[in-house]
Amino acid sequence: MNELLERAPVDQWKSYLRAQVVSRSAERLSKPFRDNQFEFDKQISGNTAQKPRWKTAVADVNTAMGEAMGELYVQEAFDPAAKDRAQQLVRHVLDALKVRIENVDWMSPETKQKALDKWSELVPKIGYPDTWRDWSGLQISRGDYFGNLAAADKFNHAYDLAKIGKTSDRTQWAMTPQTVNAYYNPSDNTINFPAAILQAPFFDPNADDALNFGGIGSVIGHEATHGFDDQGSQFDGKGNNVNWWTPADSEQFAARTEKLVDQFDGYTPIPGRPDLHVNGNLTLGENIADLGGVNASYDALKAALDSDPGAAEEKIDGYTPGQRFFLNYARVWREKTRDEAMITQLGSDPHAPSDLRVNGVVPNVPGFGESFDCPPGSPLVHE
């Protein structure tokens, strides 16, 4: 960048920056701009058709005023009973995670206590913010699509800048209620589950525990485990970027995670392209979270079944609770991806391909082999 600032003529910089402004604004402009942008996008995504204009418009409003739309979504589509049940599941999975931390046999008492301290300060947020954001001051008008979105960009930028120098607010969300996703924030040690993910197949308040622990339970465990993965472990319970590991424990952690790196480095997910591998280092944090999440949630299911021995033997649709757990875990990751998009993902996405978030994870989970009575040497059961 510094070299280009000195070497490239000013007119080239003007042309480049002008092109960037047009490219970033293309979806907000007239059809020729959108068509041109799509021709570029489809080369890296494999998409064959543009979204209908109304979907683009809704997506733009969702980006510009997401929490305002979220307030309407919660009023219309979110059952308060789902929040109560989800809070119970969070508690069960977090309790199971605590037990797993306590039982780690390679970690020193000093580091383990710091890990438990961090666990105790973890804050779960379910559904939507306690206080909705105030949108007064954002000026919009009918008939000015581009101008309205530009005004929202400026308004939201000022909103973010105003946080500088102020104490962090752990009640604020970085994701809207209508987003089917979840996240862990290392800078405030919170796990966040928007309202929209609290629906099937991830979660059904009327379903049996096995399905819910396999779905949303694994997501809960995934996000909580992020607090202790290769990146989250660099922050303490208050969100400070400090090292709370002893050198010996750090070495032990690195040696164990390297096995997961090697495992995923060996996957070639695109048929006919043995040269394209998953990047085990790039995906390490998510792979750790997937593995820890499934283990913690499965432990939570077993604890729930232990309190009701009859339920442990009960089959639904011919499947045991353990089998239903893993079947639903697999179901939430069903997805189709074009080869062009997969190539882009392998080079840039910290998540492994969806099928490997199942078939690359369950071989490392003892409960999977136990649930399906897999004999030694089975492809999906690692020693």
Residues classed as catalytic: 223, 290
Task: Report residue 179 as tokens.
Answer: 């987003």
- Report d(CA 266, CA 344) in Å as an integer: 18
Are 323 and 372 contacting, i.e. CB atoms less than 8 angstroms apart? Answer: yes
Amino acid of residue 79: D
> What phi and psi, each to the nearest 5 degrees, are found at residue 137?
105, -20
Distance (Å) of CA 220 to CA 12, 105, 150, 172, 299: 49, 24, 36, 19, 13
Task: Name 183's bridge partners.
Answer: 192
Tell me how far apart the alpha carbons of residues 245 and 268 are, in angstroms, rounded to a whole number.
34
Cis peptide, bond prior to residue 201, ω within 30 of zero: yes
Pairing of strands 123-127, 190-194: parallel
Q: Could you tell me the CA-to-CA distances from 160 to 172, 193, 297, 356 in Å, in that order? A: 12, 22, 35, 36
CA distance 224 to 184: 7
Q: Which amino acid is at 14?
A: K
The C-alpha atoms of residue 286 and residue 191 are separated, in whole angstroms, by 15
Give the phi and the psi of residue 126 in degrees, each rounded to 5. -120, 125
CA-based angle 282:284:289, to the nearest 5? 135
Q: 221 with 296: CB under 8 angstroms?
A: yes
Question: Which amino acid belongs to residue 243?
Answer: N
d(CA 185, CA 308): 35
3-state helix, strand, coil in the chain (%, to 5): 60, 5, 40
